[in-house]
Amino acid sequence: MSLHSFVAAVLRRGVATEERAPPTADPCLAGPARRLGGSLALRHVDAGSCNGCELEIASAFGPTYDLERFGVRLVASPRHADAVLVTGVVTRNMADPLRRTVGAMARPCLAIALGDCASGCGAFRGGYGVAGNVDSIVPVDLAIPGCPPRPEAIIDALRRLTGQ
Amino acid sequence: MSEAILVAAAVLGVLAAAAGLALPAGRRVSAAAGLTLLACVAAGWTGAQVLVSGEPIQLHSALILPLTGVQLEVGPLGALFMVVTAAVGIGATIYGVGYASHGLGGRTAAAALPIFITSMLLVPAAGSVATFVVVWELMAISSLVLVLVEHRNRAATRSAAQWYGVMTHIGAGAILLALVLLAAHAGGQSFTTIRAHTAHLSRPVRTIVFLLALVGFGSKAGAVPLHVWLPKAHPEAPGPVSALMSGAMVNLGLYGILLVGDELLGGGPGWWWLVVLGVGVLSALFGALHAVAASDLKVLLAYSTTDTVGLMLIGIGAAGVFAAAAHTDAAAVAMMAALLLLVNHAAFKPLLFLTAASIQRASRSRDLDQLGGLMRRLPVTGPLFLVGALAIAAVPPLNGFVGEWLLFQSLLHGLANATLAIALAVPIAVAALALTAGLTAATVVKAVGIGLLGQPRSTGAAGAREVALSMRVGPGLLAGACVILGIAPMAVLGALQPVAATLVSATPIQILRPGVGLKLAGIPAAIYPAWLAVGILAAVLSLAWGRRALGRRGGPRPVPAWGGGTVTPTPRMAYTATSFAEPLRRVFDDVLRPDQDLDVSHVAESRYVVESIAYRTRVTDAIESQLYRPLLGAVTWWGERARRVQNGSVHRYLAFGFVALIVVLLVAG
Amino acid sequence: MNAAGAGGVAAIAVAVQIALVGVGAPLLGGLMRKVRCRMEGRAGPPLRQPLRELRKLVRRERLRPEHTSWVYGAAPLVLVATSVVVAGVAPIVTTRSPLAGGADLFAIVYLLLLGSLFLGLAGLDSGTAFGGMGASRALTLGALAEPALLVAILALAVPAHSSSLPVIIHGTLRHPGWAIGPARVLALAAFVVVVLAESGRLPFDNPSTHLELTMIHEAMVLEYAGPDLALVTASEQIRTAVLLGLLMTVFVPWGVATSSAPLAFVWGAITLTAKVAGAGVALAAFEVVTAKLRLFRLPELLAAAFVAATLSVLVALVTA
């Protein structure tokens, strides 16, 4: 595609993002929200997910939902992150790395459990390789339910933190 | 008065050598060092006196050297080199006191070191061919002895000394030939006589003399392709000796080029200096490339010396080219840039060699891949090394920057009304200057980042302790010089101005405009290094204050380095000097020609399962392997052939004598 | 105007330039992010989002890998300080500040080099594999960009007989023909490539990558947290803004204040903002349609920039 036709396509298509209602204030998260001041950097840890949640995260950052417009970004290092975004049930092999990730972050840091597996082991409860849910490894500040949670649910939950 | 002090310097040097030779081990080092320091101070004072007053010193004595006598003459150029050498001598001598217990305490070394320093102080004071050649040879031999000090411990030292001895004597031969030719044609051997008659010399004689001098002094200066001894001898010499060789002796090679080319021959055609400029470009690029590829700290510094010498030769060459094109202003700026680079080099290179020797002593290695973590363990030496390293990277506010800025300005200014040769040469020189700067930046980050920062890579580095006090004071003085020369270059530039002007033009030229900043007369070019320094310092301090005030209480919390959540990074995972330089080695593989071996061995049962992988890579000096090895091979081949003639048979030898006698009779008859 | 008055104006000029760059640089980052999002069909975060991120980072905790030395803590300070000094001395708003004559293009290049050196050292001090990798790559590209940059500066300096920025700017304003001459166009090509390399943009480095193996700048700063990260991020933004500001001021100097009149000064600030914003939009749009080049293809691009710069010098000499 030539540059010219690309620009033409961009102008024709315009912005695909859907409007969303303003966020609801959450008194439980008021402290962290004030500290974050409208910007949230996430370090994503896949602790043993089936990748369903990952697809929804990718979708939430895509053009239709555009989570980035509310000040949320995925970052490449736990040092840069305000919160760890954990998907999936925590497997034995990932329990330590998850703890280390949280330990490597600047304090105060948050832990967000994304999806039913992360909050309560979901379909994998009692599996031989399962170490437990996220809360049993690191204290969870925000749980986003759903299997997998819809992008709208992810966006609404995270907007309670960014306040945007 | 000045004459007496100059003589006193020489006498003190001899006394220091005598003290080193005669006194018992306990007092030998301190007595020799004290006397050497006095000699340096005396010589430095004499040089400064000449620079300030502009009155040359002349001395003649028929008592010392038989047949010719000793003739001393200190003009502005020689005085400058005396001051610079004295400064390096002071730093290295102070350092040497603490270093003595590491191998410089022996009788030979304690006697040779003062001789080496004194002869270097006297080279720029020599006023006749005989005197010059004698002190030059004294310098060469005493430095050779000093390179050999540690030969019992390392075989590499012997090979390095061989290379050094051969190269330095090839150079000395060329110098001797050049000076004798000059003296013969001028009808006298004192420099004053030569200067007076030089205008009447025929062009071929002048050209031959210049080219011979370029070869001879170029080999001492470490210019490509005569640099091969430098990355061998400098690393093998003990710390203070390598500092002196790199910071002072190499400069004297450039002094020789200036002495013969500008002072004695009074300049020459443009192509002479284009050759010098070309050699400079080659040396700068070759040195910088090898420095970035080297993983031995002192080899890295030695190649970086070749690189800096290349920049100085670019300045000297550009000055000659511009002067030949009657572009005197630009020539004067170029010459001043070359001299400033030289003064800077004499400040930062000994600093780096001395601190490198401290690092080597403290961590028992000079291989960068065995160092690391030393900035914390050597709280004085580490930052001193960083100062020197930033200075060679030519970043403001340190001294290297002002030199390169001046060189750039002279090249830019020389482009006005350029001849074709200048129009082609200047962009190449600027590109070489720039690429050198970029490569040196990478070299510096490699040397400091791998050598001093991160985690220690060996038990030696992990157990390093700060070195003795005098080993911190000597480099400390040189680091102070780097900072002062960087912030207030005007102090020394004022003294360089008349020297530079007399080298390129018969009439005095105003190069600098008076003022706080560095402003050039005739070109709209100015920088205020002190302001830049103040600006950077103010910004750093206010940001540090802001970070403290706005952030949370207390310093940063120490945490284990992030290893991806599974492991804590170990030194084996960190980048090494070799891996750091790998991208540049790959980009410049035509020049660097790295040898690489990859051995993959498989387990016996299946060739799909790898048992071990061995990877070796080595960067060899292409000039050594392509030029010198074949040459040495040819020499050896002829040697083997010649040995057949000499088989021990007395009859055969008698026959040789008989045949020779017949031939002589036939020819004479 | 008396000396004290001139000094006062000069101090204000420098302060305004630094403030403009300091506040404008994160906004420029926001603008470029917005353009990028829009071209991808997204709404994108508000322009002031980078400022919010900086404010948040400043309040967070500082971390330090255990074995690091003082260099690690000093590097972000030096990095920002050099960028700020460049923002102060480069005559991007007015050529009338006394500092403008105190540092020429050559000095600016070496000031930025000082920052890059410290960042490289910090990458190695962190002791991680990625820190070393980033430092190695960044300095390799920096070494190769340097010849193109300095020779391009030489090409700019030849017609003006000076590398001093005010002289070059005044010359261009007096001879508008310079700005569209072949020498300038070639130098511009070289400059743009170098600016892309030095500010770590595509196709040299992808500032928004999450893959460590493709990182250059990001890899060096993976260990920084809190206020240190804020400094590093700010320096990156300031560096981009300053480089774009220099590019626009040198090649399109119209609007820069050449007198001490307050109105000229305000106009200079406005035109600078507009020019840099325009350059930022163009750069962001270019980044959307460009892919990152392989690391070992980048030297070829820089070599092409060097050839363009050398040709530019020769053309400048012939036409001079």
pLDDT tens sequence across C81-99? 999 999 988 888 888 776 6
Q: Which residues 6+ apart lie within 8 Å of B507 measured at CB?
A: none
Higher pLDDT, C159 or B285: B285
Say whether B559 and A45 touch across the interface (CB within 8 A): no
Q: Please tell me which residue of chain A has the smallest CA distance to C36.
A: A10
The answer to whether the beta carbons of residues B104 and B476 sit under 8 Å apart is no
B144 in any annotated domain: no
Say whether A16 and C42 touch across the interface (CB within 8 A): yes
pLDDT at C102: 66
Say whether A79 and B562 touch across the interface (CB within 8 A): yes
Give the domain range for residue B278. Answer: 269-487
User: If you ran DSSP here, which 8-state letter would residue C95 be given?
Assistant: S
Q: What angle do CA C303, C304, C308 make, to 5 degrees?
A: 115
In terms of DSSP H, where are the helices of C40-164?
Answer: 49-59, 70-89, 105-125, 129-160
B392 in any annotated domain: yes
Q: What share of chain B is helix, strand, coil (3-state, %, to 5)?
A: 75, 5, 20
pLDDT at B299: 93
Q: Taking a contact as any Cβ pair under 8 Å apart, which residues of chain B between 432 and 461 contact chain C? A: 433-435, 437-439, 441-442, 444-446, 448-450, 452-455
Residue of A79, A101, A107 with shortest CB distance to B565: A101
d(CA A89, CA A113): 9
Residues of B in contact with C123 (CB under 8 A): 449
From B441, B461, B487, the end of a domain falls on: B487
What is the nearest CA distance from A33 to chain C, expressed in angstroms? 11
Instruction: Name the band, by pLDDT with cuts 50, 70 and 90, for residue B514.
Output: low
For chain A, strand residue ranges (E) read 40-46, 72-74, 83-87, 90-91, 110-114, 130-132, 142-144
pLDDT at B503: 84
Please report how the helices B107-122 and B76-99 are oriented relative to each other, as an axis angle in degrees rounded to 10: 160
Determine what percent of chain A is predicted with pLDDT higher than 90. 51
What is the nearest CA distance from B407 to chain C, expressed in angstroms? 11
d(CA C85, CA C99): 10
- Least reliable range by pLDDT among A5-14, A70-79, B289-298: A5-14
A1 pLDDT exceeds 60?
no
B224 pLDDT exceeds 90?
no
The answer to whether the beta carbons of residues B261 and B210 sit under 8 Å apart is yes
DSSP, collapsed to helix, strand or coil, labels residue C294 as coil
A14 pLDDT exceeds 90?
no
B205 pLDDT exceeds 70?
yes
Q: Which residues pair with A42 in a beta bridge?
A: A74, A83
The answer to whether the beta carbons of residues B183 and B133 sit under 8 Å apart is no
B434 in any annotated domain: yes
Count the neighbouring beta carbons within 10 Å of the beta carbon of residue B573.
16
pLDDT at B466: 87
pLDDT at C44: 87
Per the prediction, chain B carries an average pLDDT of 89
pLDDT at B506: 67
Question: Is C228 within 8 Å of chain A by CB?
Answer: no
Residue of C46, C55, C62 with shortest CB distance to A37: C55
DSSP, collapsed to helix, strand or coil, labels residue B127 as coil
Residues of C in contact with A44 (CB under 8 A): none
0.90 surpassed by complex ipTM: yes
Say whether A16 and C39 touch across the interface (CB within 8 A): no
| Mutation to test the B interface, candidates A93, A100, A107, most B Cβ within 10 Å | A100
Give the domain range for residue C255. Answer: 3-319
Q: Which residue, chain included where needed, has tokens 């000090």?
A: B149
B180 in any annotated domain: no
Instruction: Name the band, by pLDDT with cuts 50, 70 and 90, for residue C320.
Output: low
| Mutation to test the C interface, candidates B532, B573, B585, most C Cβ within 10 Å | B532
Residues of A in contact with B558 (CB under 8 A): none
Say whether B575 and C163 touch across the interface (CB within 8 A): no
d(CA B264, CA B197): 9
B30 pLDDT exceeds 70?
yes
User: If you ran DSSP here, which 8-state letter would residue A22 be given?
Assistant: P
Number of domains in chain C: 1
d(CA B169, CA B140): 8
Number of domains in chain B: 2
Higher pLDDT, B263 or C10: B263
Q: Please tell me which residue of chain A has the smallest CA distance to B557.
A: A106
Residue of C63, C127, C135 with shortest CB distance to B455: C127
B367 in any annotated domain: yes
pLDDT at B594: 82
Mean pLDDT of B261-284: 90
Q: Please give the C-alpha separations between residue B335 and each of A35, B321, B340, C30, in angstroms, as whole numbers.
A: 60, 11, 9, 49
Say whether C161 and B523 touch across the interface (CB within 8 A): yes
Instruction: Name the band, by pLDDT with cuts 50, 70 and 90, for residue C138.
Output: very high
pLDDT at C1: 40
Mean pLDDT of B37-48: 93
Mean pLDDT of C171-187: 86
Helix (H) or strand (E) holding B526: strand B526-527
pLDDT at C99: 66
Write the pLDDT tens digit of every residue in B55-79. Answer: 888 888 877 777 778 888 898 899 9
Q: What share of chain A is helix, strand, coil (3-state, %, to 5)?
A: 45, 15, 40
The answer to whether the beta carbons of residues B504 and B317 sit under 8 Å apart is no
B500 in any annotated domain: no
Burial class (CB in 10 A: 0-12, 13-18, 19+), A52: middle
B232 in any annotated domain: no
Instruction: Name the band, by pLDDT with cuts 50, 70 and 90, for residue B491.
Output: confident
Q: Which residue, chain included where needed, has tokens 């050779």?
A: B144
Mean pLDDT of B625-644: 89
Write the pLDDT tens digit of every residue in B95-113. Answer: 988 887 777 778 888 889 9
Instruction: Name the band, by pLDDT with cuts 50, 70 and 90, for residue C7.
Output: low
Residues of C in contact with B435 (CB under 8 A): 143-144, 146-147
Mean pLDDT of A47-68: 91
| Beta-sheet strand order (sheet of A72-74) | A72-74, A40-46, A83-87, A110-114, A142-144
The answer to whether the beta carbons of residues B349 and B311 sit under 8 Å apart is no
C2 pLDDT exceeds 60?
no
Query: Dihedral, CA atoms, C130, C134, C135, C141, nearest 10 degrees?
Result: 160
Instruction: Report residue B526: phi and psi, to 5°.
Output: -150, 145
Say whether A10 and C59 touch across the interface (CB within 8 A): no
pLDDT at B663: 94
Residue type, B572: R
A20 pLDDT exceeds 60?
yes
| Mutation to test the C interface, candidates A3, A36, A39, A162, most C Cβ within 10 Å | A39
Question: Is B559 within 8 Å of chain A by CB?
Answer: yes
Higher pLDDT, B383 or C290: B383
From B487, B520, B552, the end of a domain falls on: B487
d(CA B456, CA B446): 15
pLDDT at A92: 92
Mean pLDDT of A157-161: 89
Mean pLDDT of B120-139: 92
